Chains A and B, each alone.
Chain A
Amino acid sequence: MIKLFIISLLLCSQNVMSNEGEIKITINSYLKALSTQDLSSLKKLTTEKFYKSLTKNNNLKKSNGPTKDNFDFDIKVKKAERIKGRFFVNIKNKHSDHFGDYWFVLDMRAKSYIISEMRMIEE
């Protein structure tokens, strides 16, 4: 019985880890889409509402450096308390001291994540 409990705990923690991994991949894709101003990828990665807010008033700015596939950043993930498949995600530069107030809200849609909004979360 105890073994079964430990196994289920392990499975559960692996599940969270796998979520975090998937989320990191999604954010990486988002950063890539932003850096290249790849609007079709951006559209796939975000909800219609968030996409609109991103693209209104020419809100996007292309990166200056060479195109990259992988970005280096720290990530903090919190599972939403009540909405299933929702995560709050904060990112920062590796060398930054602290995370900002604004968190991405990611929702699971058909086994992948979509960025729904950005939200200020006060702790």
Chain B
Amino acid sequence: MKKISIFLFVCLFTLSSFGVNKSQCQTLLDWMYRDLTIKNFEVSYERAFNKLLLGIMTAHNNSRRSFGVNSDMTEIFQALKRIEPEYKKYISPNLTVWLSSFSSSSTTSELNSFSDVFAKWQTLQSNSPELFNGLDKSYYLDDWDQFTIKNLLNINQMKVSSPELKERLSNLQDNLNLTSTNSLNGRQVNFQNLKTQINTAQKKLVEDLNMGAVQVLDNFSDICTSEEINLLITQGQYACPVLRDEDFSDLNLQLKSIEDMLTKSKLLNEETPKELIPINRIDYEQSTDPRSTYCTRPSEMLRMLVIHHTATEEEMSPTEINQMHLENRTNSGEPWKMVGYNYMVSSSFDGATPRNPKVFQGREDTVKGAHAGGYSAPLSSYETDFYEKLNIQCGNEEVGMKTGSALDQLDSSGGISGNLISLGIAIIGNFSPFKFELIDGVFVPINPDSEPYDSPSNQQIDATARLACDLQKKHKNLKTIVPHSYFKITDCPGSLIKYLNQIKDRATIYGCSFTVKHTKAEGNK
């Protein structure tokens, strides 16, 4: 509020000097509306969370009656039990019995937190409508809920005027991110209670936003004349509900209006972080050997994200990985220019922790990586035409850069170099198991350093999803996530392969869209 007051003062001064300006009025309204939205996150979260619980109970009842067991739903239920064992106690007795029938199941789930469950639930709602028979559409998770979850996940990067509110919102964020929570905490869970709570939250949201809008108009009536405001409202540019009661009952319409305003507002653009996750840059040592060459490529060429693990200790720094890669030579004997990956996700370097991983840039996006080590499926005629139009430049400062065609980098079966069309993201750590390889009757230990052989943390997956989404915004053709093993026979990325769909689902929450492909055969479909 302090900030708003300062801004108001500046605005008033400006306006008194230069007269009323429509765009300034618009900016102020935008600013107030954003503040209102932040203040209502808790109510919105309550509404979303209760809708999820209501949906779970409805889906459970419907599946038990006539539709059998839905594997997505089973996965969600297992995840909920894992995230919060107290669920058994608070959910209806029937559900408890049903849930317990899964206690011995060995299915591996990719859902580690409530944010994963929310993402998966949206898919379940659209793919399995039969599970929600009898549930009024107003109790479905909707865009407003998704907006709430998405923004709560980013709350650390948003400017919240009250530190107390920020702390409470951070707790909600933790609740969404943690793999173990106590969110139910004694709440009474049954159909009627949930519906009442959702309706109460809905009513409160509508009232708060209505009241907020009235305040906006009252507070700024000196700046925005009623004619101007009316004009803006009738032109449909605002979510101002005072004169549009019938529309205001629809939160989704409000959401659209608010998002439109956020997009339009210059002030908010300054505050909204450009990236979902900051990219840290390191001044890496690079090979100066004249034999060490590299290729640059246009952004349109980038179509895939290749997920790796480094098969090293988690504590290894990007700088050390760079040093390690500077030791490498290509098959034709050329020294590597620098670290082969385009990005590394660290849980230990430069203040990073497993709960707060950081992303480090390796090779620039425009520089062909050294990580995929294989070729795509043979190109279709459409793909051939596409790549034919794109040129690459290869060489170095010593020998100069030579322009060539992307199609120069095909293998004998007509597949294109994986390194050329992808960005390599490596999560630093060892996610492959220790194993033996039989060489002439001898059991040779492979990957003996693999201890502990572990799963990635929820935050590592989240950081990778944020990065993936940021990269898709930069490179429009980047639409597919693949494991390293897509391109060649390799253990890499170890157990991370089970988390690719989770990365995709998280990226969806952040507003991106990816397809996951595990094999080239899928690539040909």
Determine whether the beta carbon of A123 is less than 8 Å from that of B445.
Answer: no
Residues in chain A near residue B308, CB distance under 8 A: 122
Contact A123 B326 (CB under 8 A): no
B327 touches A81 (CB 8 A): yes
* From A56, A82, A101, contact of B326 by CB (8 A): A82
Do B448 and A54 touch across chains, with their CB atoms under 8 A apart?
A: yes
**Residue of B310, B329, B438, B490 touching A79 (CB-CB under 8 A):** B329
Known contacts A71-B439, A92-B439, A122-B371: A81-B329 contact under CB 8 Å? yes
When distances are taken between beta carbons in the complex, the residues of chain B under 8 Å from A35 are: 441-443
Known: A53-B448, A81-B326. A68 touches B491 (CB 8 A): no
Tell which of B99-107, B221-229, B330-338, B349-357 binds the partner. Answer: B330-338
Q: Is the CB of B442 within 8 A of A81?
A: no
A109 at the binding interface (Cβ < 8 Å): no
In the complex, chain B residues whose CB is within 8 Å of the CB of A86: 327
Residues 89-121 (chain A) with a chain B CB within 8 angstroms: 91-94, 98, 100-102, 117-121
Q: Which residue of B lies closest to A59 (CB)?
A: B445
Q: Which residues of A contact B373 (CB under 8 A)?
A: 122-123
- How many positions in chain B have a CB within 8 Å of any CB in the partner chain? 41
**Number of A-B pairs, beta carbon distance below 8 Å:** 108
What is the 8 Å Cβ interface bit string for chain B, positions 278-305, against chain A (1 contact, 0 not)?
0000000001010000000000000000
In the complex, A65→B439 CA distance in Å?
Answer: 12
Q: Say whether B447 faces chain A, with CB atoms less than 8 Å apart.
A: yes
Q: Which residues from chain A contact B438 at a C-beta distance below 8 Å? A: 93
Chain A interface bracket (under 10, 10 to 19, 20 to 34, 35 or more) = 35 or more
Residues of B within 8 A of A120 (CB): 310-312, 447, 491-492
Q: Helix, strand, loop or mixed for chain B's interface?
A: loop
Residue of A nearest to B434 (CB): A59
B324, B437, B492: the one contacting A119 at CB < 8 Å is B324
The reply to whether the CB of B180 lies closer than 8 angstroms to some CB of chain A is no
Across the interface, do B449 and A118 meet the contact criterion of CB distance under 8 Å? yes
Most-contacted residue by chain A among B310, B373, B444, B490 (CB, 10 A): B444
Contacts of B446 in A (CB 8 A): 100, 102, 118
Which residues between 301 and 325 of chain B lie within 8 Å of chain A, taking CB atoms? 308, 310-312, 324
The answer to whether B335 touches A34, judged by C-beta atoms less than 8 angstroms apart, is no
Task: Find chain B residues with CB under 8 A from A40 CB.
Answer: none
- Asked if B335 and A81 make an inter-chain contact with CB atoms under 8 angstroms apart, the answer reads yes
Question: Quick one: given A93-B438, A117-B449, A123-B330, are A81 and B444 in contact (CB under 8 Å)?
Answer: no
| CB interface residues, B 416-467, toward A, < 8 Å | 434, 436-449, 451
Known A63-B443, A71-B441, A122-B370; 9 more pairs at CB < 8 Å: A54-B445, A73-B439, A79-B329, A81-B328, A81-B329, A100-B437, A100-B490, A122-B308, A122-B340
Residues of B within 8 A of A (CB): 287, 289, 308, 310-312, 324, 326-331, 335-336, 340, 370-373, 434, 436-449, 451, 484, 489-492
Sorted from nearest, which 10 A-B pairs have the closest CB atoms?
A120-B311, A61-B443, A81-B335, A53-B448, A71-B440, A123-B373, A80-B327, A35-B442, A31-B442, A65-B441
* Subset of 7 A-B contacts with CB under 8 Å: A53-B448, A59-B434, A59-B448, A91-B444, A119-B324, A122-B371, A122-B372
Q: Which residues of A contact B (CB under 8 A)?
A: 31, 34-35, 50, 53-54, 56-57, 59-65, 68, 71-73, 78-83, 86, 88, 91-94, 98, 100-102, 117-123
